[in-house]
Amino acid sequence: MKYNLVDYFDVWFNEEEGYTVNDIARTNIVIDITDNDSDDDIINKLIDVGFLKHEAINHVAIEWFDESMLEIFELESGEPLCSLEKVN
């Protein structure tokens, strides 16, 4: 399945509410994710297209909301970085 990269380029933080995505940009980057891809495979695909740096390995994680969307966030801080939305 193909997923479009959505960049969370403006994320706010406050002590009471945590992180809020204030603004996004839907990119032209499309990632192909198969049923056999692990979270590490998906992170490596984001590195391959230049969205994440190689140093992101072991520092970011993925949360699937359902088959149509997943979100990538920093492990240490919990800050959301981007999402991948299924292309119809």
Residue 15 has pLDDT above 90, yes or no: no
What pLDDT sits at residue 8?
97
How does DSSP classify residue 52?
S
* Per-domain boundaries in the chain: 2-86
Q: What is the mean pLDDT of residues 58-80?
A: 95
Q: What is the pLDDT of residues 32-61, one digit of tens each?
A: 999 999 999 999 999 999 999 999 999 999
Mean pLDDT taken over the chain: 95
Q: What is each CA distance from 26 to 17, 23, 57, 85, in whole angstroms?
A: 25, 10, 23, 9
Rounded to two decimals, what is the model's pTM?
0.90
Residue 16 has pLDDT above 90, yes or no: no
What pLDDT sits at residue 51?
96
User: CA torsion angle for 55, 68, 32, 49 (degrees, to 10)?
Assistant: -30
